[in-house]
Amino acid sequence: MSAKSKALALKQFVPQEFCLKCRGCCRFKEADSVWSPCLLEEEIQMLLDKKGIPVASISIDRRIQPVPNPAGADFLCPFLETAGNQCRIYAFRPFECQLYPFLINFRKGKVLLTVDLNCPYVYEHINSQEAKDYIAYLADYLNSSTLRSLLKDNPQIIQAYEEVREVAEISLPDEIK
Ligand code: SF4
């Protein structure tokens, strides 16, 4: 396993039992939603080469390509198993999926760690000591040399998400300023 791969096992903030009951994630209003997970280059290679997923599952802008929901008007991640509300590639799920409801944001020339308060668990717990500790953990992690290198190699995952709350600043690698 490479140093980068080892670095991508993030501690999770939202308990798994809460996620399994919530039907908010992995579903999108549009097929080209900005909320569909953006992939790192090594994730694209791993999913295509080792997991044998169809090329059509990845959009031209390096996102997971949502598919129409046969039971509704929205769109679903093709890896979502809707009956059990589970991710079929959970052990290999993308970095952005591990990070959510936290996101890496570019705003006013700064790279920021932000949080999406549409997640009901984080909405309830954002002011807790648990959340403060987790944000400190994530900020340290994202400011590490390994993650700075990852951001330099994958600027596509630094997005301009709207309506998210800023919680910490991330050092911007010189190469992508
Ligand atoms: S890859 Fe898994 S965790 Fe990520 S959006 Fe798809 S179903 Fe959800």
- Please indicate whether residue 77, judged by its CB atom, sits closer than 6 Å to ligand 1: yes
Contacts of 113 (CB under 8 A, 6+ apart): 102, 103, 104, 105, 135, 138, 139, 142, 166, 167, 168, 169, 170
Cβ of 14 less than 6 Å from ligand 1? no
Taking only the tens place, the pLDDT of each residue in 51-73 is 778 888 999 999 999 999 999 99
Measured from the Cα of 90, ligand 1's closest atom is 2
Record the pTM.
0.90
Q: How far apart are CA 73 and CA 57, in angstroms?
A: 19
Confidence of residue 174 (pLDDT cuts 50, 70, 90): low
pLDDT at 52: 76
Residue 109: its pLDDT value, please? 86
Tell me the pLDDT band of 78, cut-offs 50, 70 and 90: very high
Q: Which pLDDT tens digit goes with each residue over 110-165?
A: 899 999 999 999 999 999 999 999 999 999 999 888 888 888 899 999 999 999 99
Which one, of 130, 128, 126, lies nearest residue 114 by Cα? 126
* Of 49-53, 54-58, 82-86, 98-102, the least confident: 49-53
DSSP symbol at 37: P
The predicted pLDDT at position 1 comes to 36
Asked whether 89 lines ligand 1 (CB < 6 A), one says yes
Ligand 1 lined by 80 (C-beta under 6 Å): yes
Residue 4 has pLDDT above 90, yes or no: no
Element (H, E) at 91: none
What confidence category does residue 6 fall into, taking pLDDT thresholds of 50, 70 and 90?
very low
Q: How far is the CA of 37 from the centre of ligand 1 (A)?
A: 8
